[in-house]
Chains A and B, each alone.
Chain A
Amino acid sequence: MRDQYEKQLKQLKEELVRMGELCEKAIGEAAKALDEGNLKRAKEVMEADGEIDRMEKDIESLCLKLLLQQQPVAGDLRQISAALKMITDMERIGDQAADIAEIIQSGKMTEGKVLAEIGKMARSAAGMVNQSVSAYVKGDRELAKRVIAEDDIVDRFFDQIKDELISSIAAGRGDGSRAIDQIMIAKYLERIGDHATNIAEWVEYSITGIHQSEELL
């Protein structure tokens, strides 16, 4: 029954998974490039952002086609409208990973040690992205809630990194421009956490019809 429709809905989920994987990979690769001081890897992250942008357009087009051709209602309507919102956040995540890579490329991040918390923060943020998409595909509300809760951990990493950088500058240790680059990277990661939270909130909507405690219809 409605074979074409089922096929398109399946395709939507698959493409979202693929876009989520690309975002997760971009964050992981950016963190790795930072850790290794690897300019080539950083450049690859920047280039890969184009693919994420293309996927956003493809998924957008698929959602619009589904709305036009299938006039979805109920759970299907929620899934498709949630997907349309989610990809905007995913596209921003891609941009922010590319921004991190750009800092690595243009700054002095290849020299000397980087705060270990940045790597941990990147893993946490990448995990949030992965799990938010996974929650969508599985229709797993608990997982979406865990992603939302995880954002507090990412925020704490940010505060910790900021405090450490402030005290090292105050103590006259380290170099100011490196510290600024690191705080910017941490800020991008913190924003990625926020976008992953947005995604998880739309996943909750797709499951429950409630977005941030409000019924939308």
Chain B
Amino acid sequence: MEDKIAIPQNGNQFDISALNLYYGNFHALKQIDMKIEKNKITALIGPSGCGKSTFLKTLNRMNDLVENVRIEGTIRMDGRDIYRDMDSIELRHRVGMVFQQPNPFPKSVYDNVAYGPRIHGIRRKHQLDEIVERSLRQAAIWDELKDRLHKSAMGLSGGQQQRLCIARTLAVEPDIILMDEPTSALDPISTSKIEDLALELKKNYTIIIVTHNMQQAVRVSDDTAFFLLGEVVEKGNTEKLFSLPSDSRTEDYITGRFG
């Protein structure tokens, strides 16, 4: 954790080149070249089925488990090829993920957050206590949960469960957090808590977020990539993309005239 704060992080977290992904005969991602900058929030937008979630999952190799999947091209994380120079356990340690539906384990709040560190061999109680508190604080939910650490996570509200899942992700000290529509199941107040949290977390993490909510992309992201039919039509500065998109397909999509 300390080294993350001490070292100024600039440059590219991911450097993706000529990425193609096939599900059987279906060409789901087409020749994607993209750089994703460190300590920034990158939003992935596009209509359903355009490949944005598939793309997100290539970044922590979640697609490896899908049958008949074929992936070509390279994805470098800090210069290392994540498909060739790294095993998936190391990769997923560094690349955490938060899903659309909050998915806490049917365990206590404490055990949810301590789960990852325990798997990584941390057993000492005081060390786990520290990690749990730090992660819940980072996820802006410590004050709400500090007196219920040993109660079941299933009793929390949706918004609290989602922040707990973010805390669980943070507990293993990743560098990158992938978020797949993290607020689509939440009410506006919980949504704005998650958005504020993302803005806070980007100081120390690189965040990539899939969202169907254009205004959310505008509010939280630094860069936006627009996906369509497996291609990246346009990627760039979010304010620029939403005020003066360079491709008419982007304009049609974000103004709701698509189709």
A joins B in a complex: yes
Tell me whether A77 is interfacial, beta carbon within 8 Å: yes
A-B contact sample (8 more), CB < 8 A, given A74-B242, A77-B242, A215-B240: A5-B256, A71-B214, A73-B255, A74-B254, A74-B255, A209-B243, A215-B244, A217-B243
Contact B242 A73 (CB under 8 A): yes
Distance (whole angstroms) from the CB of B254 to the closest CB of chain A: 5
Measured CB to CB, the residues of A under 8 A from B are 1-2, 5, 71-78, 208-209, 215-217
Measured CB to CB, the residues of B under 8 A from A are 214-215, 218, 239-240, 242-245, 250-251, 254-259
Q: Which residues of B contact A216 (CB under 8 A)?
A: 243
Contact A73 B259 (CB under 8 A): no
Q: Which residues of B contact A74 (CB under 8 A)?
A: 242-245, 250-251, 254-255
CA–CA, A70 and B17, complex, Å: 37
Q: Which residues of B contact A217 (CB under 8 A)?
A: 239-240, 243-244
Question: In this complex, what residue of B is CB-closest to A70?
Answer: B256
CA–CA, A86 and B211, complex, Å: 34
CA–CA, A175 and B81, complex, Å: 88
Chain B CB within 10 A, most for which of A5, A74, A75, A77: A74
Contact A75 B256 (CB under 8 A): no
Which 8 A-B pairs rank lowest in CB-CB distance, beginning with the nearest?
A209-B244, A217-B243, A73-B242, A217-B239, A74-B251, A73-B254, A2-B256, A74-B245
In the complex where A1-B259, A2-B256 touch, is A73 in contact with B244 (Cβ < 8 A)? no
CA–CA, A193 and B244, complex, Å: 29
Distance (whole angstroms) from the CB of A149 to the closest CB of chain B: 24
Distance (whole angstroms) from the CB of A7 to the closest CB of chain B: 14
